[in-house]
Amino acid sequence: MKVIEGNLTASGMKIGLVVGRFNSFVVDHLVAGAIDTVVRHGGSAENITKVMVPGAFEIPLAVNKLAQSGEFDAIVAIGAVIRGGTPHFDYVAGECVKGIGQVQLQTGVPVSFGVLTVDSIEQAIERSGTKAGNKGVECTLAAIEMVNVLKQI
């Protein structure tokens, strides 16, 4: 049996980070986790390009432009959508994940989904570097692994 799998080495990788500013008190920790992960896995902060956008709704458009530029091995989308009392959450989160999914299938550039979609500020804090880990770290590892697995297919 032939098994193809990707390692977690980020040496020489060019990574685009697209970051929604909304809920920045959470998002800043996710970004720090993402950068730290690239560096700790052999990559360089100089090879990271960070693009700031207003919120999660705008993330897919910037991800698409980076992916189409051909300059990046992978793109990490980072943001935080926190449910409020209206259906707004569902529209913003839904468009964000749908758009990101489309970009990676249409361009072949791996895009990882580091956008928290949570019911409360407490859940967001838990997933941005406290008791439930850090989504920025997790999705950056997924991006690195996908670059390395796709190279072999």
Per CB under 6 A, residues contacting ligand INI are 20, 22-23, 54-58, 79-82, 84, 88-89, 92
Q: Residue 140: what residue type?
A: T
Nearest residue relative to ligand INI (C-beta): 55
Question: Which of the residues 40, 88, 98, 151 is marked catalytic?
Answer: 88
- Token representation of residue 50: 């960070």
Q: What is the residue whose two structure tokens read 């989904």?
A: 113
Question: Which residues make beta-bridge pairs with 77?
Answer: 18, 113
CB 112 within 8 A of CB 6: no
CB of 19 to ligand INI, least distance (A): 10
- For CA atoms 88, 91, 92, 94, give the dihedral sign: positive
Q: Mark whether 88 is an active-site residue.
A: yes
Question: Of 66 and 80, which has the nearer Cβ to ligand INI?
Answer: 80
CB of 58 to ligand INI, least distance (A): 5
Q: What is the spatial distance between Cα 96 and Cα 77, in angstroms, rounded to a whole number?
A: 9
Question: Of 8 and 52, which has the nearer Cβ to ligand INI?
Answer: 52
CB of 5 to ligand INI, least distance (A): 33
Nearest CA-CA partner of 103 in 75, 80, 137: 75
Question: Of 62 and 92, which has the nearer Cβ to ligand INI?
Answer: 92
Catalytically active residues are 88
